Structure 1
Amino acid sequence: MSASIAARNIAGVVLLGLGLAVGSTGAPAVAATTVHTGVATQLGPCPTPTEAPGTEPIPFPLTSSVKPTDTSTSTVIVPDGPQMQCSTTAPTLYEDITYSSPTTGGVETDLKLDLQIPDTPGDKPLVIYITGGGFITADKSANLGQRTYVADQGYAVASIEYRTQLTGATYEDGLADVKSAVRYLRAHADEYGIDASQVAVWGQSAGGYLAAMAGATNGIKRFDIGENLNQSSSVQAVVDEFGASDLAGMADDYDAATQTAYMAPGSFINNYVFGPGSTRTVATDARANRAANPATYLRRGVSAPVVMLHGDQDQIVSPSQTLTYLNALKAKGVEGTRYVVQGANHGDMSFLGDPDAGLLWSTQKVMDVITGFLDQKIGS
């Protein structure tokens, strides 16, 4: 076990911030409760949220070791050098736009998004950010700095809420929410100056998994549920940071105790696949595990190209998960690229007392991989 992992190992309850997360066919009205107009600023550090993202306790032991990951088909990034710097003009921020009102277990929920629009000419390609949260939380205020940096490069950036297991939702509900957000923003593209033909999804952790699912399932109508069904939910690119793919193998790189906890009935993984209260598991139900795996839906020429980034010291999602998905992409003839961030853990680990872990993910080197891919796939 490396010294860095040993120093961060916490047995018992892990608090996962992980931010670094049948309706009518009519479109809900645009309802931004707060609009912050962009103002000129000096080049400098990107903004941070005024409040820490919410956390929820998840009762499983943090792994004591991580197996070395195979990098033979991936590119290794040494995340040194300067931090990202935000640009001279702050984007206009629209907050709390209701994009969908799905019903789960008989309860209707208004799902909201925040939208940043940079002060650049012409319609903007759209990036939809999907936060992490262990399938338990989905705080749209998370990762404001990186979102602002991407907006600075000329992209409209929306950060969305989605349903989690706290409301009895499953991964199919979360995927439906991501697709609802894509359709909503396409329906309202003219109002916000968005180029509706160029849309990417970008997720971290649980959000990375949902981003991979969204890109893999392009054109599969059974996941399109809710409003704005006259709009396409297909996306043109996927950025997947430390997301899972084959959920039954999510702890494969970890010690035996962690593997047992992840695969136990009622774990955070199994609850998001089968719903709360189920005794089924992805480890024993191969059919359900396949249905929850984005690789199942990959189709050449239809599924979106993917770039993946994973830390080789990730203690929450096994680094082999993105390697497994890279191999699946290649087998299905879908474009995929994987980067391994040397020495990096699971994004922003400040919720475990490591405030510096997230800095490896916000270096210029790492962010250039993301924005370079976006420029190539959806940039104007």
Structure 2
Amino acid sequence: MNLKYMRMLPGMEYSTTPAPEPDDHEGVVRITVDTAEQVPRKPDGVTLRRGLRYHEGLRLDLHTPSTPGRHPLVVYLPGGGFAVAPRAMARRERAFIAASGYAVASVQYRTTRQKATYRQGLADAQAAIGYLTGRAEDFGIDPGRIGVWGESAGGYMASLVGLEDERIGAVVDKFGAVDIARLAEGFDQRMHTFLGNPDNAVNRYGAAEANPADLARPGAPAFLLLHGDDDRVIPPAQTLELHLALRAAGVDSTRYLLTGAGHGHLALSGEQSRQWTSLQVMTLVRDFLDRNLRG
């Protein structure tokens, strides 16, 4: 378990047992990940600008390819249990996507530490998109090709942004929350108690008021959903609910269920965590973005 991320989330709870994965459905692909080949930590051909101030003291980090021209924009929204939004998260994975020809921005957004709710977080994401597209020439961005990507709480935020903003052409949601009222389903009693506490960050952020599955609509952007079947923080049924709602609305949605994978860098073991930085999984993300932002 990654202690750096654990220190960011004091009081975080885990279920002692995994939640059961529901039956297979159309568009759900189960995969066993080969963790031997990992994406590079610092790929060639990428420039990183850190700490760009975009809105009311909030900052973002921007990876851009060294190649000339306008590149599709991918806005990454970090997880953090709605308590923090550390823009340094997933730097390795973001650099890999940038090296594939994308401008990738990791966006700090307001959380409960700023006494914010999801509404302010969404406003921040929109402000970041406006900042980046408004400086498209400076950063080498194509403002007509935009994707959003998030993990955990950031996956929830990315899904909301993708379903509310008609400029978005692709959404990548890694193990994001969907229906906050059912977030403990399938977990042990400790998680039911923790998530039922109105004082925890999940509830104070007001995220139960907005379920991305309720916003599924014809014409929504394509979705790529990924979840580990040993996730002890957000049960796999959460992304399945969103996937089924998207498919019912006629949206292009594909969901991958990773055998033995946990909750990103908050997985129970290093081997579980390495699934998310594997070349195999990140190639799925890159290929999805290529199909929907370049095709």
Tell me the distance in 1 between the aligned counterparts of 2:75 and 2:114: 22
Q: Which residue of 1 aligns with 2:192?
A: 259
- Quote the residue 1:125 is aligned against: 72
Q: Which runs of 5+ in 2 are unaligned?
A: none
Show structure 1 runs of 5+ residues with no match. Answer: 1-7, 9-13, 19-53, 102-109, 220-233, 275-288
SS in 1 for 2:156: helix
- Paired amino acid for 1:336: S
Equivalent positions of 1:209-228 (< 5 A) are 209-219=156-166
Instruction: Quote how far apart the aligned CAs of 1:146 are.
Output: 0.6
Q: Which amino acid aligns with 1:188?
A: R
Deviations 1:99-132 (A, max 9, x none): 111xxxxxxxx11111111112321111111111
2:278 alignment partner in structure 1: 363
Higher relative contact order (CA 8 A, sep 6+): 2
Q: Which amino acid aligns with 1:79?
A: V
State whether structure 2 residue 47 is matched by structure 1 residue 92: yes
Letter paired with 1:57: P
Identity %: 38
CA contact (8 A) 1:236 1:377 kept: yes
Partner of 2:11: 58
Match of 2:5 among 5, 17, 33: 17
Matched, 1:373 2:288: yes
- Say what the alpha-carbon RMSD is for the aligned residues: 2.1
Aligned partner (choices 211, 225, 239) of residue 293 of structure 1: 211
Instruction: Describe the superposition over 1:24-68 as per-residue Cα deviations: whole angstroms up to 9, x where unpaired.
Output: xxxxxxxxxxxxxxxxxxxxxxxxxxxxxx613025x42111132
Secondary structure of 2:10's partner? strand
**Displacement of 1:272:** 0.7
For these two proteins, the number of residue pairs brought into alignment is 292
- Structure of higher CA gyration radius: 1
Q: 2: CA distance between counterparts of 1:241 and 1:139?
A: 16
**Cα deviation per residue 1:164-197 (whole Å; 9 max; x = unaligned)?**
0011000111111111111111111011110110
CA distance in 2, matches of 1:162, 1:211: 12
Match status 1:238 vs 2:193:
no
Which one-letter code corresponds to 1:94 in the other structure? Answer: R
Q: Secondary structure at the match of 1:329?
A: helix
Distance 2:100 2:42 in 1: 8
TM-score by length of structure 1 reads 0.73
Contact 1:16 1:56 in 2 (8 A): no
CA 1:147–1:134: 2 relative to 1, 3 Å:
same
CA displacement at 1:17 relative to structure 2: 2.2
Residue from 24, 33, 36 that aligns with 1:79? 33
The residue type paired with residue 277 of structure 2 is: S
CA contact (8 A) 2:43 2:96 kept: no
TM-superposed CA distance for 1:82, in Å, is 1.6
CA contact (8 A) 2:68 2:140 kept: no
Aligned in 2, Cα 1:311/1:88: closer, same or farther, shift over 3 Å?
closer
**Tell me, what secondary structure is at the counterpart of 1:115?**
strand
What's the TM-score, normalizing by structure 2?
0.93
Paired residues of 1:129 and 1:157 also in contact (CA < 8 A): yes
Contact 1:83 1:363 in 2 (8 A): yes
Task: Report deviation, 1:371.
Answer: 0.4
Q: Which amino acid aligns with 1:313?
A: D
Q: CA deviation at 1:268?
A: 2.1
User: 1:318 aligns to what?
Assistant: 235
Equivalent AA in structure 2 for residue 241 of structure 1: K
C-alpha distance in 2, partners of 1:260/1:330? 33
1:340 aligns with 2:271: no
Aligned to 1:44: none
TM-superposed CA distance for 1:86, in Å, is 6.1
Contact 2:230 2:260 in 1 (8 A): yes
